Structure 1
Amino acid sequence: MTNRFYYHTTAGLCFTLLVLGFISRAGAQAKPEAGWSNYGNGGGGTRYSPASQIDRRNVGQLKQAWTYRSGALPHDPELDKKAAFEATPILVGGKLFLSTPYDHVIALNPETGAKLWEFDPQLELPYGASEVTSRGVSAWRAPRAKAGQQCTLRIFIGTLDARLIALDGATGKPCSDFGSDGEVDLTSGVRLRDPGDYQVTCAPAIFKDLVITGSSMGDNRAVTVERGMVRAFDVRTGTLRWTWDPIASWAYRTTPRTVSVDAQRDLIFIPTGSASPDYYGGIRKGDNQWANSVVALRAITGEFVWGFQVVHHDLWDYDVASQPTLFAWKDGTPAIAITTKMGRVFVLNRLTGAPLLPVEERPVLKSDIPGEESWPTQPESAISVVPEKLRPEDAWGIKPEERQWCADKIKAARSEGVFTPPSLQGTLVFPSNVGGVNWGSAAYDPQHHLLFMDTNRLPIFVKLIPRAEYDHARKNASDSDRLHGEFARQVGAPYGMFRSPLLSPSGLPCNAPPWGTVAAVDLFLGVKAWDAPLGSWIPGRHTGTITLGGPIASAGGLVFSAAAMDNYLRAFDSETGKELWEYELPAAARPHP
């Protein structure tokens, strides 16, 4: 979801890459480079570093080593309003590789921050863009390279104008043997409805000699949108090797997030999007299998293995935004953890999709919208990390009159739990499509079987608008609704939609803080271990803020996150959640550290 609340809150987006160096009296220590080989530091998305030099005792000694400014802005007056620097750099072959919101790929010297090369993809965006971001690049190294051979290290990026590009890691020049002059057109075979809404924003996955990518699509436009295919291409030639298309009689925004890879077992795990449109499903009857799911495929062929749906017949924009986390269960069984926007964590057998912690189908509220057939049950996990209901008595405000204002707003809407269906009077979706856990995903510490995640607690007011009333409602919207909210036509459905965060007159959420946290879950016990506010919107108080990135963990017993909106990078004790250190950045940081 692209909500103006995000962008107004994060005004002055940071395009500075900050690296912190550890200053030790012992001087340089000759330890091998830990590296960070891909977006999640390993195909399993654990975001865990085995480096232990920086630990609980000395994290306070971290100092700035260097700063690099990408110069990505200004670019386009309108598109810049959406721009977000969300890329996680990768460290491969002694170089740092990163991407900018406009898909420039940059290679840096990790010791000095000096730019080694920069590639400009010359984006063509005549129709605008649903999102303006890139979450990173991927790397593939030829196993038997000859001396002087070009493109032995290939850097791949998917672009906002739906191309897959291969670059020489040494020079930044396109690999001419890949596709057509170094790129593959991902719109080939796709019936475009709105060209600016079909994009790639996430780092591709690498499996042996395949580069695998999905797509990102603008939501809530219409009933019928582009097909959300996942495709695998030969890393050398760009030849299409296989396609997986989950489409049935509805459309998906499939895999706007990152695929996880189990190379040993020839498996990839795909987090899928919601069926279209998000908030009305009267045209897409049934549970909408395999939307809102994690699907396992054979990596070499794209053959379906198993799927697990976290939400049936989604009416809340509860797509699986997070990269699945691969880990070993108590007895060594290959396992997978799925974090969700609902704040529920599902733990499954990686080979079969069977739950390793209890999952129960529970009855949920029925929709009162004519033509809508909401699904009667939803899967409930044994683990939940955020509140799932907001009542008038839960209202919060800085002053008593603000608290009463919020209580009245909650009372006027339908607010009966996490799966309260959208309505004509207005429904509070809580937790909302912001999360719970969003695209920032999770980090996993195998030493203590702890899963770390940044969480959100922001209620969203959602109202369906009959088609005949939609234009009038939009034309006569209040200034506040125009500033913070979003109108969506949902063309082809009998209802348009309006949604907006439930904010008090002071601009703070109507629910009690914390509004964002770093949480830890003991996966073996199936319980939340700790939950610490992340950032603050009120000076002197640990309120937490909405978080739009994710954490990383290290063998030094630390969890790092810079996802809060108060411009700080923080370190927490991984076992207790105690905040140990903070460092002020030039602006709020969306990427993982």
Structure 2
Amino acid sequence: MAITLTALVFLLIGAALGAGGVWLALLGGSWYYIVASLAFLLTSYLLFRRRTSALLVFALLVIGTLGWAIWEIGFDWWQLAPRGGVIILLGLWLLMPWIRRGLNAGEGTRRASWGPAVPLLLAVFAALVVAGYSMMEDPLQITGELSKEVIVASPDLGGNVAADDWHQYGRTPYGQRYSPLKEITPDNVNNLQVAWTYQTGDVKLPDDVGETTYQVTPLKVRDTLYLCTPHNWAIALDAATGKEKWKFDPNVGLNPDRQHQTCRGVSYYADPAVQPGQPCAERVYLPTSDARLIALDAANGQVCPSFGDKGTLHLEKGMPYNPAGYYYSTSPPVIAAGKIIVGGAVNDNYSIHEQSGVIRAFDINTGALVWNWDSGNPDVTTPLPDGQTYTHNSPNSWSVSSVDEKLGLLYVPLGNQTPDQLGAGRSENVEKFSSSIVALDVNTGQLRWVRQTVHHDLWDMDIPAQPTLVDINTATGAIPALVGPTKQGDIYVLDRRTGEPILPIKEVPAPTGAIEGDFTSPTQPVSDLTFMPPPLTGKDMWGVSMFDQLACRIEFLRLRYEGRYTPPSLEGSLIYPGNFGVFNWGGVAVDPERQIMFGMPTYLAFTSRLVPRSEVPPPDAAAKGSEQGLNRNEGAPYAVYMGPFVSPLGLPCQAPPWGYVAGADLRTGKIAWKHRNGTVRDSSPLPLPFKVGVPGIGGPIITAGGVAFLGAAVDDFLRAYDVTSGKQLWEARLPAGGQSTPMSFALGGKQYVVIVAGGHGSVGTKPGDYVIAYTLPN
């Protein structure tokens, strides 16, 4: 009976591999699966006939598969496993005594002789040896070290922020995410322990939108932390104990029209004209998901009535359409030169009738509009008169800006116009400013320079991260630089005075062949410092078994794919890197003394298929556009189906790793090291801590002690790394997803590291409401 059932299994496997293998071969893919199918079918026939020669045939399949797998991908265990895992397990099954005894019985003996099984035994043993060896190898990592040399002993960190404090989203207006504190080092970081835990009480509700996420980086001023929550509560905590000082709820309500329900941070300001201790001498500015900006007294959380309309700015003013649910600020505004400067997020790919992407500067004390820069009308920055509206559907800035008050420049990361995948009919200004970093005069809003990172963007490659400002030493002297991470993986290192490159940028040929009526740029820019992945091929397809890997190989060849910037198409295109981004809003952290960076490149392919308007299904009240599913693009000739490129089991079709940590030298543009980051513990059916290298969203920080901290990965951990080598030094289990950027401060001579753990709706990590501080023991 065992042999009959085994033969039947081999027959079914052979048939499945044969059908899929023929399909793959007709598409121009590997013929291996046809050969494997024939071996399975022959083995099945011989098993039905009780012939010991079945073991020899299967031994040849094992050896052939092993050789083919090594030829395709080398000694990468995570890619060898799906190719040979099922085959090795079946080989072990055939070696069991009840199988060998049955085969021998068919040839006149009941003794389970090892003789005929020796070739299969040796083949399986060889495969296991290769598997064991490959587990100890990682051919995809880059090993090396960043220099420990201090290039600038007293660098410009930006702003007037005490070393113990963290006043802005990236600590200072420069957005370096760098703490000059040194108590925590690679030698003692493994002694970190929880100092305190605070729960906000703001938890994801059943009626919340899918992308309800906790992405805040707290601020620290003297003895107080300031933060916000997904539903835009503002909270002040005692920095030493985590005890709540005050809480303010703006009552934003639940609006199903919002794509995002999140808050990345608040903004802090101390008014030099108001005596300390007086009402609203220090203020916290809270952006909300119902398009308000509220000024609060930092001492007690009370609204400051002298700002705007009784303490509130209504950011829907001047917008061309009713913005309820379709326009709001998810990131903290920038405060500089007596102004508070605000961008905003729009609902991507829902309609062509989007709000304006205008950048507005208001008087920090009164809330009066000082200037507005509208990329649809970029030369006129005087305040918009009452009754007029800004340009609709102009590229917006949903991330965080940086500012250099010495140069008088504001650096704004811009997105592109909805629909992201359709470029026909874009205006000259949209073509100029989409997916770019712009430098604006902080006092007037006038444009000083623009650096575009994608020409005629059809892939949603908006600039997702705050530009980081740092002075770079070069052969010709120190240059005030800007470091700009992008979704496509390029790191732009520019002279922030002019926008001209410090590290070279070259134009390279790009795929052509957009849909009728649209076009593609013949070239696209690439920075010398880039984390863009090599193009995918059939051998890069992956699965937990040979079957879903075969399905991914077939789907890969069915999609249009010509490398980075393959245009969207009616048949479906593979977009890699996908619009999740190699880098997203978490950006990178920069050490201005050593002039190096630490980042978390992520690699996930997406698919993009255009749908003619006549074929778009009726509206779904729940569909508001997103990074996954049907994006309706109401008013445009095409909608688009978007989503990760996944197997029938819902796993990425491309082989891991999907996430790394990496370090690079900003002066040379050389990547010194790059290591897999994160495990599948919280994203697999079994809590297995396999270090595959998983995606993440969030950002890192660097400390002067030589330690970097990062949560972000889709397993629930906060980790510490040696900045020099990238070696992981410590990890702490989090009670929820850590998709936020940590921060560090000192109080009473002790250094703390704080992270918010609240999960991320889009990546499916565990929701929560935790704020956790770590410190070294006394």
**TM-score computed with the length of structure 1 as normaliser:** 0.90
Match of 2:229 in 1: 100
The residue matched to 1:379 in structure 2 has which SS? strand
What letter matches 2:185 in structure 1? D
Match of 2:207 in 1: 78
Check the 8 A contact 2:341/2:362 in 1, yes or no.
yes
Match of 2:419 in 1: 277
Q: List aligned pairs for 1:96-495, cutoff 5 A.
A: 96-124=225-253, 126=255, 128-247=257-376, 251-284=393-426, 288-330=431-473, 331-471=477-617, 485-495=628-638
Check the 8 A contact 2:207/2:254 in 1, yes or no.
no
The residue matched to 2:432 in structure 1 has which SS? coil
* Larger deviation, residues 255-264 vs 379-388: 379-388
Check the 8 A contact 1:391/1:415 in 2, yes or no.
no
| CA–CA separation in structure 2 for the residues paired with 1:148 and 1:36 | 21
Deviation per CA, 1:255-274, whole angstroms, max 9, x where unpaired?
10000011111111000011
Check the 8 A contact 1:73/1:80 in 2, yes or no.
no
Check the 8 A contact 2:468/2:483 in 1, yes or no.
yes
| CA–CA separation in structure 2 for the residues paired with 1:137 and 1:329 | 29
Judged with a 3 Å threshold, the aligned counterparts in structure 2 of structure 1 residues 165 and 81 are, in CA distance, closer, same or farther, namely: same
Match of 2:126 in 1: none
Match of 1:10 in 2: none
1:575 to 720, 724, 730: 724
The residue matched to 1:591 in structure 2 has which SS? coil
What letter matches 2:187 in structure 1? R
Check the 8 A contact 2:267/2:335 in 1, yes or no.
yes
Match of 1:19 in 2: none
Check the 8 A contact 1:275/1:288 in 2, yes or no.
no
Deviation per CA, 1:547-568, whole angstroms, max 9, x where unpaired?
1101000011111100001100
What letter matches 1:239 in structure 2? A
| CA–CA separation in structure 1 for the residues paired with 2:599 and 2:361 | 29
The answer to whether the aligner puts 1:90 opposite 2:232 as a matched pair is: no
What letter matches 1:318 in structure 2? M
Equivalent residue pairs, number: 556
Structure with more strand by fraction = 1
Judged with a 3 Å threshold, the aligned counterparts in structure 2 of structure 1 residues 232 and 388 are, in CA distance, closer, same or farther, namely: farther
The sequence identity of aligned pairs, in percent, is: 39
| CA drift at 1:321 | 0.3
Deviation per CA, 1:307-360, whole angstroms, max 9, x where unpaired?
000011110000000100101111211010110000011111110011111111
Check the 8 A contact 2:204/2:212 in 1, yes or no.
no
| CA–CA separation in structure 2 for the residues paired with 1:269 and 1:261 | 6
1:499 to 619, 642, 645: 642
Deviation per CA, 1:518-574, whole angstroms, max 9, x where unpaired?
221211111111112221116343212211101000011111100001100001110
Judged with a 3 Å threshold, the aligned counterparts in structure 2 of structure 1 residues 436 and 409 are, in CA distance, closer, same or farther, namely: same
The residue matched to 1:410 in structure 2 has which SS? helix
| CA drift at 1:592 | 0.6
What letter matches 1:69 in structure 2? Q
| CA drift at 1:508 | 2.1
The answer to whether the aligner puts 1:65 opposite 2:195 as a matched pair is: yes
| CA–CA separation in structure 1 for the residues paired with 2:633 and 2:534 | 27
Judged with a 3 Å threshold, the aligned counterparts in structure 2 of structure 1 residues 241 and 484 are, in CA distance, closer, same or farther, namely: closer
The residue matched to 2:549 in structure 1 has which SS? helix
| CA–CA separation in structure 2 for the residues paired with 1:86 and 1:431 | 23
| CA drift at 1:447 | 2.5
Judged with a 3 Å threshold, the aligned counterparts in structure 2 of structure 1 residues 348 and 188 are, in CA distance, closer, same or farther, namely: same
Match of 1:8 in 2: none
The residue matched to 1:212 in structure 2 has which SS? strand
| CA–CA separation in structure 2 for the residues paired with 1:407 and 1:66 | 49
| CA drift at 1:56 | 0.2
The residue matched to 2:680 in structure 1 has which SS? coil
| CA–CA separation in structure 1 for the residues paired with 2:522 and 2:620 | 32
**TM-score computed with the length of structure 2 as normaliser:** 0.69
Check the 8 A contact 1:427/1:462 in 2, yes or no.
yes
Deviation per CA, 1:93-122, whole angstroms, max 9, x where unpaired?
321000000110000001111000000112
Judged with a 3 Å threshold, the aligned counterparts in structure 2 of structure 1 residues 190 and 473 are, in CA distance, closer, same or farther, namely: closer
The residue matched to 2:726 in structure 1 has which SS? coil
* Larger deviation, residues 518-527 vs 560-569: 518-527
2:658 to 515, 524, 528: 515
Judged with a 3 Å threshold, the aligned counterparts in structure 2 of structure 1 residues 148 and 568 are, in CA distance, closer, same or farther, namely: closer
* Larger deviation, residues 41-50 vs 398-407: 398-407
The answer to whether the aligner puts 1:556 opposite 2:705 as a matched pair is: yes
| CA–CA separation in structure 2 for the residues paired with 1:223 and 1:367 | 24
| CA drift at 1:407 | 1.1
Judged with a 3 Å threshold, the aligned counterparts in structure 2 of structure 1 residues 33 and 383 are, in CA distance, closer, same or farther, namely: closer
| CA–CA separation in structure 1 for the residues paired with 2:220 and 2:343 | 23
User: Can you give the 5+ residue segments of structure 2 that lack an aligned partner in the other structure?
Assistant: 1-161, 378-390, 682-687, 743-778
Match of 1:54 in 2: 184
| CA–CA separation in structure 2 for the residues paired with 1:442 and 1:188 | 34
User: For the aligned residues, what is the CA RMSD?
Assistant: 2.1
| CA drift at 1:452 | 1.5
| CA drift at 1:505 | 3.0
Check the 8 A contact 1:311/1:378 in 2, yes or no.
yes
Judged with a 3 Å threshold, the aligned counterparts in structure 2 of structure 1 residues 186 and 388 are, in CA distance, closer, same or farther, namely: farther
Match of 2:10 in 1: none
The residue matched to 2:310 in structure 1 has which SS? coil
Deviation per CA, 1:266-292, whole angstroms, max 9, x where unpaired?
111000011221011112166711110
| CA drift at 1:80 | 5.2
Name the structure, 1 or 2, with higher relative contact order (CA <8 Å, separation 6+): 2
Match of 2:695 in 1: 546
Check the 8 A contact 1:317/1:433 in 2, yes or no.
yes
The residue matched to 2:600 in structure 1 has which SS? strand
The residue matched to 1:346 in structure 2 has which SS? strand
1:35 to 165, 169, 172: 165
Match of 1:591 in 2: 740
| CA–CA separation in structure 2 for the residues paired with 1:473 and 1:100 | 31
Judged with a 3 Å threshold, the aligned counterparts in structure 2 of structure 1 residues 108 and 375 are, in CA distance, closer, same or farther, namely: same
Structure whose CA Rg is larger: 2
Check the 8 A contact 1:215/1:253 in 2, yes or no.
no
| CA–CA separation in structure 1 for the residues paired with 2:632 and 2:364 | 40
Check the 8 A contact 1:46/1:325 in 2, yes or no.
yes
What letter matches 1:348 in structure 2? L
| CA drift at 1:306 | 0.3
Check the 8 A contact 2:183/2:705 in 1, yes or no.
yes
| CA–CA separation in structure 2 for the residues paired with 1:312 and 1:222 | 22
Check the 8 A contact 2:577/2:604 in 1, yes or no.
yes
Match of 1:535 in 2: 678
What letter matches 1:395 in structure 2? M
Judged with a 3 Å threshold, the aligned counterparts in structure 2 of structure 1 residues 369 and 81 are, in CA distance, closer, same or farther, namely: closer
Check the 8 A contact 2:607/2:642 in 1, yes or no.
yes
Judged with a 3 Å threshold, the aligned counterparts in structure 2 of structure 1 residues 332 and 459 are, in CA distance, closer, same or farther, namely: same
The residue matched to 2:615 in structure 1 has which SS? helix
